[in-house]
């Protein structure tokens, strides 16, 4: 039997799915974040064991070889022993899973950040009143984001000191360790993969190079913006000490409902009720619009559910506007006077003769 039970180290069964293995690793890895271990040697060692287990079990080919060795044992002199050469496994994938794109002790973004992805972006959703989305206006939102530490100017080092090349990995961020029949490259336990160490971390940011600030931002809401649209405010995301840049604040608009109007595209929809005689004979009615009361001409013989268009009275779209669509609802009287009844009976009689 193999001397290390990687399944036991990660706390999963030997039939665990890839997602279960990844979930278990993330759980333990968060507990061993350098910000929480504070140089605890026991936790550093545990970090190495968990990383080693995850590296093997998360790779289908390595896992299959490990399972075979675990079940049947391993004889280096046996035929086919070369099939079990794991080579120099690269542990950057572990850090990427653990910290979302590679980790360094300054809180910087790793490989994905280098490819230009905005992991420092902050996403918020704001409720925008109907009228504000129509005409534009201001909307305030409170955010909490990482900003450059003012004490160390983002270096993470106490004034008068600086980051030094890690003596454990000589700046590479990795150390190699033989594990019997294979070797692994793993994050350096001294610098946790950053390649540098802080002997005198900044007392304000504890070596992170950034601190959190809560502030209220006034957002300019452009006229005509629709629900679900996003606005990007540059530089208001989390500060990345490694790159010296800040992410963006991504604001998603949620358009609040209006008691009388409904937006569909750039058009505004509403409904009015008209008496049956107006539906038959036609006429005019005053309709409430976003621009105030307006007169709507109703053609004779309009049917229930009929729609009338009031041009250029909807949401702005470039140099033009959408329309206001009015849906007609017809009021059927529940009671008739004697004279009204006679008139309808006379209409029915004439209709039957035509």
- Mean pLDDT, the chain, rounded, equals 81
Beta bridge partners of 267: 264
Residue 166 within a domain: no
Please report, for the domain that includes residue 45, its CATH number.
Answer: 1.10.287.110
Whether 214 and 278 share a structural domain:
no
Whether 109 and 36 share a structural domain:
yes
Residue 256 pLDDT greater than 90, yes or no: yes
Domain count for the chain: 3
Provide the pLDDT for residue 101. 38
Residue 164 within a domain: no
The values of phi and psi at residue 292, to 5°, are 105, 180
Whether 183 and 61 share a structural domain:
yes
Whether 103 and 136 share a structural domain:
no
Whether 1 and 86 share a structural domain:
yes
Whether 17 and 46 share a structural domain:
yes
**What's the rounded Cα separation, in Å, for the pair 115 and 104?**
16
Whether 276 and 327 share a structural domain:
yes
Residue 170 within a domain: no
Residue 311 pLDDT greater than 90, yes or no: yes
Cβ neighbour number for residue 323 with a 10 Å cutoff: 18
Residue 93 pLDDT greater than 50, yes or no: no
Q: Which domain holds residue 128?
A: 120-157+204-257
Of 187-196, 206-215, 278-287, the range with the lowest mean pLDDT is 187-196
Whether 48 and 184 share a structural domain:
yes
Please report, for the domain that includes residue 140, its CATH number.
Answer: 2.60.260.20
Residue 142 within a domain: yes
Local confidence band at 6 (pLDDT 50, 70, 90 cut-offs): confident
Residue 240 pLDDT greater than 50, yes or no: yes
Of 5-9, 65-69, 196-200, 326-330, the range with the lowest mean pLDDT is 65-69
Residue 54 within a domain: yes
Residue 274 within a domain: yes
Cβ neighbour number for residue 155 with a 10 Å cutoff: 21
Q: Looking at residues 230-257, what average pLDDT do you find?
A: 92
Residue 196 within a domain: no
Whether 275 and 223 share a structural domain:
no
Whether 21 and 80 share a structural domain:
yes
Note whether 143 and 249 are within 8 A (CB). Answer: yes
Domain boundary among 232, 257, 282: 257
Provide the pLDDT for residue 29. 74
Whether 293 and 326 share a structural domain:
yes
Provide the pLDDT for residue 78. 38
Residue 167 within a domain: no
Convert the chain into a string of H (helix), E (strand) and C (coil).
CCCCCHHHHHCCCCCCCHHHHHHHHHHHHHHCCHHHHCCCHHHHHHHHHHHHHHHHHCCHHHHHHHHHHHHHCCCCCCCCHHHHCCCEECCHHHHHHHHCCCECCCCCECHHHHCCCCCCCEEEEEEECHHHHHHCEEEEEEEEEEEECCCCCCCCECCCCCCEECCCCCCCCEEEEEECCEEEEEECCCCCCCCEECCCECCCCCCCCEEEEEEEEEEEECCCCCCCCEEEECCCCCEECCCCEECCEEEEEEECCCCCCEEECCEEEEEEEEEHHHHHHCEEEEEEECCEEEEEEECCCCCCCCEEEECCCCCEECCEECCEEEEEEEECCCCCCHHHHHHHHHHHHHHHHC
Beta-sheet pairing, 88-89 with 182-187: parallel
Whether 126 and 227 share a structural domain:
yes
């Amino acid at each position: 039997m193999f001397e290390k039970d990687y399944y036991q180290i990660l706390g999963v069964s030997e039939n665990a799915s890839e997602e279960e293995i990844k979930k278990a690793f993330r759980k333990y890895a968060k507990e061993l974040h350098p910000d929480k271990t504070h140089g605890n040697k026991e936790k550093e060692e545990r970090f190495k064991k968990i990383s080693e287990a995850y590296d093997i079990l998360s790779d289908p080919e390595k896992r299959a070889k490990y399972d075979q060795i675990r079940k049947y044992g391993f004889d280096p002199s046996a035929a086919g022993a070369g099939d079990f050469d794991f080579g120099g496994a690269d542990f950057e994938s572990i850090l990427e899973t653990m910290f979302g794109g590679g980790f360094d002790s300054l809180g910087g973004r790793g490989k994905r950040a280098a490819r230009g992805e905005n992991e420092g972006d902050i996403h918020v959703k704001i409720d925008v009143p109907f009228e504000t989305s129509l005409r534009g206006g201001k909307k305030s939102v409170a955010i909490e984001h990482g900003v450059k530490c003012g004490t160390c100017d983002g270096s993470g080092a106490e004034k008068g000191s600086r980051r030094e090349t890690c003596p454990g990995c000589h700046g590479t961020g990795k150390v190699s360790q033989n594990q019997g029949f294979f070797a692994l490259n793993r994050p350096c336990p001294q610098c946790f993969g950053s390649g540098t160490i802080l002997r005198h971390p900044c007392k304000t940011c504890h070596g992170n190079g950034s601190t959190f600030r809560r502030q209220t931002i006034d957002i300019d809401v452009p006229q005509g913006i629709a629900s679900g649209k996003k606005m990007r405010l540059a530089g208001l995301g989390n500060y990345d000490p490694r790159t010296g840049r800040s992410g963006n604040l991504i604001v998603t608009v949620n358009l609040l409902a209006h008691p009388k109007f409904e937006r569909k595209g750039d058009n505004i929809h509403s409904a009015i009720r008209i008496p049956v005689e107006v539906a038959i004979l036609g006429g005019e009615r005053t309709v409430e619009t976003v621009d105030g009361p307006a007169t709507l001409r109703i053609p004779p013989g309009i049917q229930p559910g009929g729609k009338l268009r009031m041009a250029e009275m909807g949401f702005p779209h470039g140099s033009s506007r959408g329309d206001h669509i009015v849906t007609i609802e017809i009021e059927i009287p529940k009671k008739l006077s004697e004279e009204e009844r006679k008139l309808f009976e006379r209409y029915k009689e004439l209709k039957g003769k035509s």
